[in-house]
Structure 1
Amino acid sequence: MLNTTSKTNLVVIGGFLGSGKTTSILNIARYLVSQGKQIGIVTNDQGSQLVDTQFLAQAGLSVLEVTGGCFCCNFDQFAEKLNQLATSQMPDYILAEPVGSCTDLIATIFKPLQTKYTQQFTLSPLSILADPKRVKKLMMEPETSPFPDEINYLFRKQLEEADVIVLNKIDLLSEIEIEAIHSFLKNTFKGIAVITTSAKNNVGIAEWAEIVTSRHASLNPSLEIDYKTYATAEAYLGWLNSSGLLEASVPVDINALVYELLENLKAQLQVSHYEIAHLKIYGIAESDWVKASITSVTDAVDFNRRMAQPANHVKLIINARIHIEPEILKPLVEEELAAIAAKNDMDVKDLRTECFKPGKPVPKYRIA
């Protein structure tokens, strides 16, 4: 592993929305803790009220977040959070999770950190997670992709600048499929290491951890990227972050409520031909919690964890990244939540929702 006597190792783990970054970060953090390492985490989003932050904090990890924009556009806030963790927690490794629609990380994060914070941090290899479903769509583009060409462009750019591509969710694939996708990635993105993992089943995590803890970032030449196309890709997606309290006089099966909410939203979006990039719900009641998500209108609901028993007080957080206008997305989610709460004789209280399209990425620094 890298020498951490005087510096904190920064491990950036990127990847498109729905690739399994947060579950992967949780498992690699747990692995490193099992090896006697201290871990800090920085999450990131265009808005606030993040499922990821709550989920990782619930696991007992030290988590700070950068909200209101990506790491590159909020570089000073990102550096502040890194320094805060480094000085207060003194971790061996900080795991940083950029926004899922973010790319050009070498030029806008790695090289500025190398220039300005060389005494504080050692930069580990840049990992980019890839969902096999999205890679399959890339393999068959443009005929079958449900997203505009600009989003596929963004996904390609994410993969192009990786030190290591992590093909996640291999538990959903046959051996033949794994071999075909692995071969496509190796042949398309030449010179980049490709490994396979299943974060859900904790497969391949030790091998991945060995790579990011024993090597340095390559700091290859910065991407050749068209920021106009990049901005268009981000603007295709409506972003929604919503949180509220659900209360009932008798305990309710929250797992069933979350499942029905996700299924109903998926059905409405599918009928109207809106594609899901990522839709996830996190519910917490005292020490019990549930987390479930969908990454396509053709997906089944995937539970990361279910509540052990019914509850009559639950905090619910909803994060949605969908190819839809915000003025359509917000009432759709709020009305469906109200309907399902009413069906279960629950009151929705203190509901806070932000819904928007991300602005044009304007990095504070970009070093070619």
Structure 2
Amino acid sequence: ILAEPVGSCTDLVATIAIPMMEQLGEKFVHSPYAVVLKPSHGAKILSGEGKRGFSEKAEYIFRKQLEEAELILINRVDELEDSQQESLRRNVEEQYPGRPVLFISAKTGQNVDSLYDALAATSSPRGEFMTVDYDVYAEGEAELGWLNATVALSTETGLPIDSVAMQIVDTVRERLISIDAEPAHLKVLCSGADSVAVANLVSSDTPTMLSVSSGASGKHLSVIVNARVCLDPESLKKTVTDSIADLASKLGVAAEIESMESFRPGRPVPTYRAGN
């Protein structure tokens, strides 16, 4: 399975799936190409209402991904009211007709069996490939700063791992809101005492979620931070660095940033593209 979340790449059928099938033949069979839609941003973009947080060029990528889809998956159905589900379905079906829509929850497993059934089917790739403006694509990708960091936290008394993970995300979230920077995602994995907690944020107007609970405490914690934000890399780096320092001071712990890289993605240049 080749999987890629909405908002980070598009044109996968023409640049990966079809070239692999052409060069490797029967070793690969084309199943329906499914695209996962994140409701927090998707609802804003599709409805055209409210503050969406991203530019038209970034939204161009999002829309191209839905255009390319042969099956559209709307995740986090467990968090959506019936009216929200109906609105999303209506907007998707009106703007991207002919594509089945399936609501799923990766968290609870709702409708995952139906997804397996859909992916187990075989289908023929479309005879025509969508047009992609790679200049707009590159500019849209470059608007998001990427950050990866590892941090070591230590204290003489035990720290509740779940709380630390949540507080890191909350602290970064507050700083991003203060500078009007929209996160595409913010993920924190906090480990210690042979246990792991994961906290994440999917948009500025949603609360921090504890997706994996450790239920444990530890004196020495290892933290991994992964972020994609509509912000330049240096500002993103400063935001995360200052957030770690603030939280360390608040908790009275020692914090050491072991590694941190922040950058913009390079221009997408496919080696192969069917139809060219």
- The answer to whether TM tops 0.5 is yes
Deviation at 1:214, TM superposition (A): 2.4
Matched residue, 2:81: 174
Task: State the AA in 2 paired with 1:194.
Answer: V
Matched residue, 1:13: 3
1:37-52 mapped onto 2 (5 Å cutoff): none
Cα distance in 1 for residues equivalent to 2:218 and 2:80 = 35
Under a length normalisation based on structure 2, what TM-score does the superposition of the two structures give? Answer: 0.93
Cα distance in 2 for residues equivalent to 1:131 and 1:355 = 24
Query: Structure 1: which 5+ residue stretches go unaligned?
Result: 1-10, 17-99
Report if the CA contact (8 A) 2:168-2:188 is conserved. Answer: no
Deviation at 1:171, TM superposition (A): 1.5
1:309-320 mapped onto 2 (5 Å cutoff): 309-320=216-227
Structure 2 counterpart of 1:326, from 222, 225, 233: 233
Distance change in 2, residues 1:262/1:350 (3 Å): closer
Matched residue, 1:105: 12
Deviation at 1:143, TM superposition (A): 5.8
Number of residues of Structure 1 aligned to a counterpart in Structure 2: 275
Structure 2 counterpart of 1:123, from 30, 33, 38: 30
Structure 1 counterpart of 2:200, from 265, 282, 293: 293
Matched residue, 2:93: 186
Deviation at 1:343, TM superposition (A): 3.1
Under a length normalisation based on structure 1, what TM-score does the superposition of the two structures give? Answer: 0.71
Runs of 4+ deviating beyond 4 Å:
none
Task: State the AA in 2 paired with 1:278.
Answer: H
Report if the CA contact (8 A) 2:41-2:203 is conserved. Answer: no
Structure 2 counterpart of 1:245, from 140, 143, 152: 152
User: The residue matched to 2:3 in structure 1 has which SS?
Assistant: strand
Task: State the AA in 1 paired with 2:82.
Answer: E
Matched residue, 1:49: none
1:255-277 Cα shifts (integer Å, max 9, x gaps)? 22222221121111111111111
1:206 to 2:206 alignment: no
Greater Cα shift, 339-348 or 280-289:
339-348
Matched residue, 2:47: 140
Matched residue, 1:258: 165
1:84-113 Cα shifts (integer Å, max 9, x gaps)? xxxxxxxxxxxxxxxx51000011111111
Cα distance in 1 for residues equivalent to 2:200 and 2:127 = 34
Cα distance in 2 for residues equivalent to 1:151 and 1:276 = 13
Cα distance in 2 for residues equivalent to 1:351 and 1:335 = 15
Task: State the AA in 1 paired with 2:3.
Answer: I
1:223 to 2:213 alignment: no
Cα distance in 2 for residues equivalent to 1:220 and 1:183 = 27
Deviation at 1:182, TM superposition (A): 1.0
User: The residue matched to 2:203 in structure 1 has which SS?
Assistant: coil
1:151 to 2:58 alignment: yes
1:32-75 Cα shifts (integer Å, max 9, x gaps)? xxxxxxxxxxxxxxxxxxxxxxxxxxxxxxxxxxxxxxxxxxxx
Matched residue, 2:102: 195
Report if the CA contact (8 A) 2:150-2:222 is conserved. Answer: yes
1:198-244 Cα shifts (integer Å, max 9, x gaps)? 11121010000110012236345222110011001101111001113
1:137-190 Cα shifts (integer Å, max 9, x gaps)? 122327632210111111000011111100111112111221221122122112
Distance change in 2, residues 1:341/1:229 (3 Å): same
Report if the CA contact (8 A) 1:15-1:158 is conserved. Answer: no
Greater Cα shift, 197-206 or 277-286:
277-286
Indicate the percent of aligned positions where both proteins have the same amino acid: 28
1:331-350 mapped onto 2 (5 Å cutoff): 331-349=238-256
Deviation at 1:336, TM superposition (A): 1.4
Cα distance in 2 for residues equivalent to 1:220 and 1:271 = 47
User: The residue matched to 1:118 in structure 2 has which SS?
Assistant: helix
Cα distance in 1 for residues equivalent to 2:100 and 2:127 = 14
Cα distance in 2 for residues equivalent to 1:254 and 1:339 = 17
Query: Structure 2: which 5+ residue stretches go unaligned?
Result: none
Greater Cα shift, 223-232 or 183-192:
183-192
Q: Aligned Cα RMSD in Å?
A: 1.7
Cα distance in 2 for residues equivalent to 1:165 and 1:13 = 13
